[in-house]
Amino acid sequence: MDGQAIVENYRRMTNEVEFTELNIDRLLLHNAKYIIRLLSPVLEFKRTGETLNILKKTQGILETMSINEYRHYMAFTLIPDVERIIKNHNDFLLKSSSLDHGLVRCRRFSEVRDFLKELFPEMDLTVDPRKGIGESWSAFIRNHRPNFAPLTRVLYNISYTIPGDALLSYLTGPDHDNWIITSDSD
């Protein structure tokens, strides 16, 4: 259940230009921002003084987690759940590729709408999503299939060693009173 929320959240995030065009691996504050946003359905990060607190959302209740509890949750609950969902999605795509012949024969959007809803739950499917009239359904599916590699890479990277300094810095950002001006120029 937690994994499904993370996968859906990730799929929404991949539609944002900032997320897709920036190298967030190199930009530590952007990386922190997206870690917080990615995990927001199940975890909340708070700053208390100079300490980072990790809170797990369980049925609307926030429970404080220690670093060891966080590591255990990531390794034995969240990541396996996300990997299972990704495997199911990839298996579904493999089955759909064997249906290519059937999809080629389906010309009307109404004939493939239910199939597309299952593949692309984040997409607005009230109208035909293809850009060009000549684009086949199999080409559309191939071009729009989600890339889950960045999701798993981020989860693996933060599963044991969380970037606490970057998260604290990002959470402190709006607190301008803590900023020190070091320039001598007026």
| Per-residue pLDDT, 106 | 63
122 found inside a domain: yes
Q: What is the pLDDT of residues 97-117, one digit of tens each?
A: 655 555 556 667 887 888 788
Number of domains in the chain: 1
| Per-residue pLDDT, 173 | 80
Any alpha helices (H) in the chain, and if so which ranges? Answer: 2-13, 17-21, 28-39, 67-73, 79-98, 100-105, 109-119, 137-144, 149-160, 164-172
Question: What is the band of 55 on the pLDDT scale with cuts at 50, 70, 90?
Answer: very high
Question: What is the band of 178 on the pLDDT scale with cuts at 50, 70, 90?
Answer: low
**Which phi-psi region, left, alpha or beta, contains residue 146 (left: φ > 0; alpha: ψ -120 to 50)?**
beta
| Per-residue pLDDT, 145 | 82
183 found inside a domain: no
Nearest-CA neighbor of 114 among 101, 103, 100?
A: 103
| Per-residue pLDDT, 116 | 81
11 found inside a domain: yes
184 found inside a domain: no
185 found inside a domain: no
**Residue 161 belongs to domain spanning:** 2-174
151 found inside a domain: yes
* pLDDT greater than 90 at residue 29: no
Collapsing DSSP to helix, strand or coil, 59 comes out as: coil
Nearest-CA neighbor of 120 among 3, 2, 20, 14?
A: 14
186 found inside a domain: no
Whole-model pTM: value is 0.78
Q: What is the pLDDT of residues 88-99, one digit of tens each?
A: 888 877 776 655
Q: What is the pLDDT of residues 139-152, one digit of tens each?
A: 787 778 888 998 99
82 found inside a domain: yes
Q: How many degrees, rounded to 5, is the angle at CA 49 between CA 44 and CA 54?
A: 20
